[in-house]
Amino acid sequence: MIFAAGLGTRLKPLTDTMPKALVPVNGEPMLKMVLDRLIAAGYDDIVINIHHFASQIRDYVAANGNFGVRISFSDESDLLRDTGGGIKFAEPLLGKDEPFLVHNVDIDSNLDFGWFREQHRNDAAATLLVSSRKTSRYLLFDDQMRLVGWQNIQTGEIRSPYGGIDPDQCTPLAFSGIHYASPSIFPLMQDFPDVFGIIDFYLSICRTNVVRGVVPDGFKVRDLGKIDSVPRD
């Protein structure tokens, strides 16, 4: 699943007339960059959620012959559901038989997708791709690389289902916007509202369900969701 529904507020004024997914990166839309990498890695059944300028994304994919794979749209034109709500809403398209990859459209990385697929174990509700890059908000992991909390180092806020955890006893890592999820998460989402974030969801279940983090060797990632981070010709 590719998250492409966002408003792209950090990319204004470019997103005043186009969706974030179609903002060009070195002359080609972000969406094409992600699709090319996923398809090269063997993914041939892809769900894209859409909201902001949804018809432009539909038209672009159609004009490119669906890139030779099966592409379905989870249309959130009626309501932007955030990352967790977007996955919950897309359940009929994602199916219940096997784990699925989730990838933000504005993330570019050197990830070996085959390697990452192998890291997702049957006992895990989700596997999060994380790194040691500097950020203001970190996911906190125990010595088994299980998610135990979240920390905002600027405000000092700490959230955890375990209560008063000591962040100094945890490993802080930055979320990449790429994760694997098992279909077992869908029943756990049923009591959540239409709109919620996926990290909020993972924090709510990580005490009773395995949510793991993995760090690839030599991992490099770029967040292209900000106007000053988009390379242009």
Angle at 224 between CA 223 and CA 229, to 5 degrees: 100
The 10s digit of each residue's pLDDT in 157-214 is 999 999 889 999 999 999 999 999 999 999 999 999 999 999 999 999 999 999 999 9
Exposure b/e, 204-213, CB count within 10 A at least 16 = b: bbbeebbbbb
The pTM of this model reads 0.94
Class of domain 2-226: alpha beta
Q: How far apart are CA 168 and CA 81, in angstroms?
A: 34
Where in the chain are the domains? Answer: 2-226
User: CA dist 122 to 202, 209, 211, Å?
Assistant: 17, 12, 11
Cis peptide before 99 (omega within 30 of 0): no
Amino acid 137 reads R
Phi, psi for 133 (deg, rounded to 5): -60, 155
Q: What is the pLDDT along the chain (233 residues), one digit of tens a residue?
A: 999 999 999 999 999 999 999 999 989 999 999 999 999 999 999 999 999 999 999 999 999 999 999 999 999 999 999 999 999 999 999 988 899 999 999 999 999 999 999 999 989 999 999 999 999 999 999 999 999 999 999 999 999 999 889 999 999 999 999 999 999 999 999 999 999 999 999 999 999 999 999 999 999 999 998 887 676 65
Q: Quote the pLDDT of residue 233.
A: 53
* Burial (CB count within 10 angstroms: exposed 0-12, middle 13-18, buried 19+), residue 228: exposed
Are the C-beta atoms of 173 and 142 separated by less than 8 Å?
A: no
What's the Rg (C-alpha) of the chain?
17
The number of C-alpha atoms within 13 Å of 224 and in the hemisphere containing its C-beta is 27
Query: Which has the closest alpha carbon to 184: 129, 126, 121, 127?
Result: 126
